Amino acid sequence: MLRALLVTHGDLGPALVATAAGIVGVPAEGVEVLSNRDLSREALARAVEERLAAWGGAEGVVLTDLFGGSCTQAALGGGEARPGIGVVCGVNLPMLVDFLVNRGRYGAAEMAARLTDKGRAGVRLLSRSPEPPEGGA
């Protein structure tokens, strides 16, 4: 079964995993969370590398929250060079729910592409903000 490592700022990762597992109704086994809280960028990169090394060559995806942020930089340093590891940034709830439902059906490369599509599809403009009144905000 495909594994996942969420590398996020603060408490975002645990909240996403708990919520997605509740929606799907299955435990999020094989899904790990790593926060950047109190870690330098170098320490975070080492922590990512250690977590991925502990997978023993198993395929998986690393999901980060913010493009260009320290979590994504650490994930790229630890995951990009490893075969069988897909790195995707911009993690959101639709992505994680899809991962939990479909992780037994896809390899890492296919799952990374799928999650990118699911993440984009989960963001929709449903209504436009009303125009501000004339003469002020």
Q: What is the CATH number of the domain that holds 97?
A: 3.40.50.510
Considering the domain boundaries, does residue 56 fall inside one? Answer: yes
User: What's the CA gap between 117 and 45, in Å, rounded?
Assistant: 26
pLDDT band at 77, cuts 50/70/90? confident
pLDDT band at 80, cuts 50/70/90? low
Domain count, the chain: 1
User: What's the CA gap between 115 and 1, in Å, rounded?
Assistant: 16
Cβ count within 10 A of residue 80 = 11
- Higher-pLDDT residue of 64, 77: 64
Q: Mean pLDDT over residues 116-127, rounded?
A: 93
Considering the domain boundaries, does residue 98 fall inside one? Answer: yes
What is the span of the domain harbouring residue 76?
Answer: 3-121
φ/ψ bin of 85: left (φ > 0), alpha (ψ from -120 to 50), beta (otherwise): beta
pLDDT of residue 79: 62
Considering the domain boundaries, does residue 33 fall inside one? Answer: yes
User: What's the CA gap between 53 and 71, in Å, rounded?
Assistant: 17
Considering the domain boundaries, does residue 135 fall inside one? Answer: no
- Report whether pLDDT(38) > 70: yes
Considering the domain boundaries, does residue 126 fall inside one? Answer: no
- Element (H or E) spanning 20, and its range? helix 12-24
pLDDT of residue 134: 80
